[in-house]
Homo-oligomer: A and B are copies of this chain.
Amino acid sequence: MEQTSLFEVVMSLYRQRKLPELKTILSQLNPADIANIIENAEGRDAIALFRLLPKELATEAFAYIDSEQQEQLILAFTDRELREVIDELFLDDTVDLIEEMPANIVNRILKNTDPKTRAQINELLAYPDDSAGSLMTPEYVYLKPDMTVEESFAKIRAVGVVKETIYTCYVTEERKLVGVVSLLDLLTASYETVIGDIMDTNVISVNTKDDKEVVATTLAKYDLLAIPVVDGENRMVGIVTVDDAIDVLQDENTEDIEKMAAIVPTDKPYFKTGIFETFLKRIPWLLLLMVSATFTGMIITGFESKLAASVVLTAFIPMLMDTGGNAGGQASVTIIRGLSLGDIEKRDVLRVIWKEIRVAVICGATLAVVNFGKMMLIDKLLLGNSAITVTVAAVVCLTMVVAVFIAKIIGCSLPILAKAIGFDPAVMASPFITTIVDAVTLLAYFMIAQALLHI
């Protein structure tokens, strides 16, 4: 609500052409809020509002604006405006921008950067997508082990404003990362102290080739504000800051959740994804899972004559399938999340199965007992379904125990198996597990029915 009214105030001032007041208000806002306003404004209004901003704030806000609106702004920019924005952007943000823009805009951006920056951009663009290298920025503060604290402060004061963080400084020797020193360490040391004496030599770092999820979780695990990125020879090449790590964590969570719900992941917000695009993200799994349901159909067709002899059994197929699916989904999602948080490792597979077996037995038994009571009291007595006998109830309940047992074991082991052979465990979630568990449950149901009901 707040957000809307701020936007409305801005637009109303804009429409009344009260530009001095508007300028004052805009200059008071946070870059993230300004980005929100500009994203919501129409094309020509957006560029007009952007031009009302103080230069520094304009660039800061630009980095927060979504790529569609960024593209619109760049199209309206003069070369001079473009150069000003690109000059002030941090390199990792420029690289993100370039990765999202069409070729003609990329060319314009590169044409408007100085040769040194262009070389750095091209270097960063060469790292594979989703790697630490593509996420990092070379804009960090480095010190030498033989510098004094006083010299370090002089350097930080000189270069600080153009660095993404100054709160952690990296100590390098012949470009190799040898230590790390926090600004707090520097502040509490005397001016004559030598960096080599106070630096922490036990540095947590990641490799340029590491996946960006590894970068984010490592940074989070050690509560860092930035994590250094080194190449194969331990040469320092960049840092990833905590704000970017948070974005990675949130994106990875969204991606996992989408995969678990049988959706092809997208990195766009809901309303930014078109109808057809949304369709394309959802239809592959729907088709695959629909076609694989051929097996359940075949199983039912195979037992058709027996089902005809005991039609009452049909009524419990949905409940058995759903319960099996839910039980398997619980196990798989728990394991997928555990794998992604690092609570569970591949080598834990037997421990996991053993735990799930025990949980499955108690769950299955509880469900079976409740279901037996429900069938005899509600379905038979209350609803008067005379076809339900103790034997029929026993068949359903026994199937329930088997279904939950198998569902939990399949649910917990498939994600670990997927990880072991290099797939993303998240696709082994409920919808996938359900399809397998359905078939197994139906088979068990008909076999138990044959044995107990002699059909």
- A-side residues, CB < 8 A to B, are 28-30, 32, 153, 156-157, 160-161, 166-167, 183-184, 187-188, 201-202, 204, 220-223, 225, 242-243, 245-247, 249-250, 253-254, 256-258, 260-263, 269-271, 275-276, 278-279, 282-283, 285-287, 289-291, 293-294, 296-298, 300-301, 304, 307-308, 311-312, 314-319, 321-323, 325-327, 329-330, 332-335, 337-338, 341, 343-344, 348, 351-352, 355, 358-359, 362-363, 366-367, 370-371, 374, 378-379, 383, 385, 404, 429-431, 434-435, 438, 442
Contacts and interface: CB of A to CB of B under 8 A. Distances in A.
Given A262-B329, A296-B315, 8 more contacts: A257-B333, A260-B260, A269-B341, A270-B338, A275-B358, A279-B363, A286-B363, A290-B370
A371 B333 contact: no
9 contacts: A167-B225, A223-B243, A246-B249, A258-B333, A261-B329, A282-B363, A286-B367, A318-B321, A329-B431
B187 A153 contact: yes
Kindly report how many copies of this chain are found in the complex they form together.
Answer: 2
B318 A438 contact: yes
Contact of A279 (B275, B298, B335, B362): B362
A294 B319 CA distance: 7
> Which 3 residue pairs across A and B have the least CB separation, nearest first?
A293-B319, A261-B333, A296-B318
Given A258-B337, A323-B293, A367-B290, A161 B188 contact: yes
Contacts of A166: 183-184, 187
B261 A330 contact: yes
Q: For A202, A330, A332, A378, which residue has the most chain B Cβ atoms within 10 angstroms?
A: A330
Contacts of A325: 325, 431, 434
Nearest to A276: B362
A300 B314 contact: yes
Contacts of A30: 202, 204, 222
B285 A326 contact: yes
A445 to B, nearest CB: 11
Contact of A315 (B187, B202, B300, B332): B300
Nearest to A323: B290
Given A275-B358, A343-B270, A294 B220 contact: no
Contacts of A279: 359, 362-363, 366
A383 B285 CA distance: 24
Contacts of A261: 260, 329-330, 332-334, 429-430
A317 to B, nearest CB: 6
A73 B322 CA distance: 45
A290 B341 CA distance: 30
B431 A298 contact: no
Contacts of A311: 304, 307-308
Given A183-B183, A326-B431, A157 B188 contact: yes
Given A326-B285, A434-B325, A183 B161 contact: no
B220 A250 contact: yes
A262 B326 CA distance: 7
A333 B263 contact: yes
Given A294-B379, A366-B287, A271 B351 contact: yes
Given A184-B161, A221-B32, A270-B334, A300 B318 contact: yes
